[in-house]
Amino acid sequence: MKLPEIVISASLLFLFCLAPAHAGGARDLQRFFNDVTSYSARFEQQVLDENGQLLDASSGIFWIERPGRFRWEYQAPTQQIIVGTHDTIWIHDVELEQVTRRASADAIAGTPAALLAGKGDITKSFVLAELGRRDDLDWVRMQPRKKDAGFVDIRAGFGDGQLRRLELLDSFDQTTRMYFTDIRENINIPAETFSFTPPAGIDVIEE
């Protein structure tokens, strides 16, 4: 029986060249950055030292709207709200009653918030490599092309096409692990989600 003719697009050809045996992780990563315009999830975050010992654990919820807008709320064990737009970053440490305003998004360019809010051809900023399956997820490695990117190695895990895990290794050999649940893609997010007004009576630190 004659097999049907298959037309392979340039993007699929790139993925096959990247990892002939399995292209799940890279394919899902490209879809995440190209097709997902808004995204929300709850997260559990762990920070580990170079020996794998737990240094810090936190949890919360975040929203992103591409390009460049996000709201990241740490709810436990302490409250912190980070709101970012194209040119301004607000950081509100609730218990410290302190607000910091940074005039440029470059100030947190190496954070998970800024990474997830990016848009466009991911290969311009990262070198991708398939890592196969682990923990029932398809993994892809992202190595930043810029040496001052904040993280030296990023690994993204996808399940059923959705981003479920991030593992980020920084220049101090500390690893940040993030687990995502209650995932929602391409949703309508109210515009006020990405606006911030400092509470009355709190001083604002300009950086």
SS3 string of the chain? Answer: CCCCCCCCCHHHHHHHHHCCCCCHHHHHHHHHHHHCCEEEEEEEEEEECCCCCEEEEEEEEEEEECCCEEEEEEEECCCEEEEECCCCEEEEECCCCEEEEECCHHHHCCCHHHHHCCCCCHHHCEEEEEEEEECCEEEEEEEECCCCCCEEEEEEEEECCEEEEEEEEECCCCEEEEEEEEEEECCCCCHHHHCCCCCCCCCEEEC
pLDDT digits over 118-173, tens only? 777 778 888 899 999 999 999 999 988 877 667 889 999 999 999 999 999 988 99
pLDDT > 60? residue 20: no
User: Would you place residue 100 in the very low, low, confident or very high pLDDT band (cuts 50, 70, 90)?
Assistant: very high
Q: What residue ranges define each of the domains in the chain, with the CATH number in brackets? A: 22-206 (2.50.20.10)
State pTM to two decimals: 0.80
Q: What is the pLDDT of residues 183-193, one digit of tens each?
A: 999 999 999 99
pLDDT, residue 21, reads: 35
